[in-house]
Structure 1
């Protein structure tokens, strides 16, 4: 029974390696940068070495899981290859064997495990050599996202009961959002230029696009819901804020190896606090000015 478990475990690991190799080769076909493409091919070669190590034990051939290859190739297209590859490694770890079974495998062939661990370390070194362009501008993306969430969540919350009309709130939000997008992008451009960055325009583009995309998502509930359902639109908008923060922080936690919880609670806390404060200000302004729309 023990030998059967070891054999099945090794087959599982072997198939994982050949699947990762196929994913890396598939992704490398879409990468334009020669250095990064070369690194991906080297990583694929490492996966082949891992596969051969396990094959020397199982004595059988294993085919890659093509549906997994398709999924990760698609993720690379949408979210970038660095994110896809690091998520792939996490996937492999999540579906890895338990420590008891791995110990059994090590007892069976300790040299095999030692070689495998050396290969894994080399693979991590190769992964750290990846230099994807979009991740160079992660700071600009964070700037655009954070400012949009804080400013727009606060503004829309303040408008919600001050204006009490989804049409008016959406109108005010769009004007504020578009103006703020142009302001943020131009400020980022000037800041990058003053810091001597060669790609100041691209940095400003990432900030502006991230800001505008966030603005559109936050205003959508006010555009889609009936005019007087501004309270419901406000709740949906705040849920959207939390979802955006969670999704973005998950992305950078994988792609840049950042702490998810720390950044998530920090951004969520600031955005929600500003929105609640702005909501109260909107109520007070409406009350003291005697505005009744």
Structure 2
């Protein structure tokens, strides 16, 4: 790394200050929303460390820096929408980056100490996560995976076989609701037979059923709103891709797994089934003459 001028270093430190004071406020707000006492204490300690880092950096820059209000609001809403676990994991990614930056200045005693603090934060954050919604993540995965794979295929087949958006929407809705109830029942029996310590069969069934029905509504929607079966099919496939992307991004962050690998697997599987079903629908239409 090229030697920085004092002015460049001060400018960079001011940027670090903004990150530290912003992170401190975010962690305090997350702690205030956290019900688990152990988790809340960890978040509060991290917030105090971030405040201390800000004070240390101010000793170099001799300047006060305002926090990033937009980022604070973003994380507050993120907690409300996706839970503390997801928000903390997102912050953890920032901890890794900050630790890496501070470690680039080994000759500066305070920076080395702050790098160790950031690394410690990362380890603590990994240990502390225990949120109900993640306990039932497997049930949501089951509902989404099955709905996306089965339903994109079914709607693609109906598109060629029936060639009428209202009829496709009606048939798809009946099929989807029946499949959702079936999947929820199967998950209930599966969870009950496994006797998983921290999972309740009824809750697992509800998570699976809701995930399935939400997917059904999103995929059937284009056929209800549009009159062109082919256009509705194209929009449905885009909706499926967006659902896959959103869910796998959430899962990858919350579970610290590879987004690219999970997204690719699920997208290829869903679209492959949809393509095969589309061809089957075309062949059945040609053979039976149904759909005009």
TM-score under structure 1 normalisation?
Answer: 0.90
Q: CA deviation at 1:91?
A: 5.2
Q: CA deviation at 1:85?
A: 2.4
1:199 paired to 2:200 = yes
Residue matched to 2:213? 212
Aligned residue for 2:34, secondary structure, equals coil
Deviations 1:99-145 (A, max 9, x none): 6x974x544x2x12221121012101221112122112221111111
Query: Gapped runs of 5+ residues in structure 2?
Result: none
Residue matched to 2:125? 127
Q: CA deviation at 1:34?
A: 2.9
Residues 163-178 of structure 1 correspond to what in structure 2 (within 5 A)? Answer: 163-178=162-177
Deviations 1:202-260 (A, max 9, x none): 1222111111111111011001102xx00000111111111111111111111211111
Residue matched to 1:264? 263
CA contact (8 A) 1:166 1:230 kept: yes
Moved over 6 A (4+): 96-99
Residue matched to 1:113? 111
Q: CA deviation at 1:89?
A: 4.1
In 2, Cα distance between the equivalents of 1:127 and 1:97?
14
Alignment partner of 1:40 out of 17, 38, 43: 43
Query: Gapped runs of 5+ residues in structure 1?
Result: none
In 1, Cα distance between the equivalents of 2:100 and 2:256?
24
Work out the number of aligned pairs and report it. 286
The 1:141/1:292 distance shift into structure 2, 3 A limit, reads closer
In 2, Cα distance between the equivalents of 1:7 and 1:261?
37
The 1:221/1:91 distance shift into structure 2, 3 A limit, reads farther
Aligned residue for 2:33, secondary structure, equals coil
In 1, Cα distance between the equivalents of 2:204 and 2:123?
28
Alignment partner of 1:5 out of 8, 12, 16: 8
Aligned residue for 1:237, secondary structure, equals helix
RMSD (CA atoms):
2.1
Residue matched to 1:55? 58
CA contact (8 A) 1:53 1:116 kept: no
TM-score under structure 2 normalisation?
Answer: 0.91
In 2, Cα distance between the equivalents of 1:53 and 1:140?
46
In 1, Cα distance between the equivalents of 2:132 and 2:276?
38
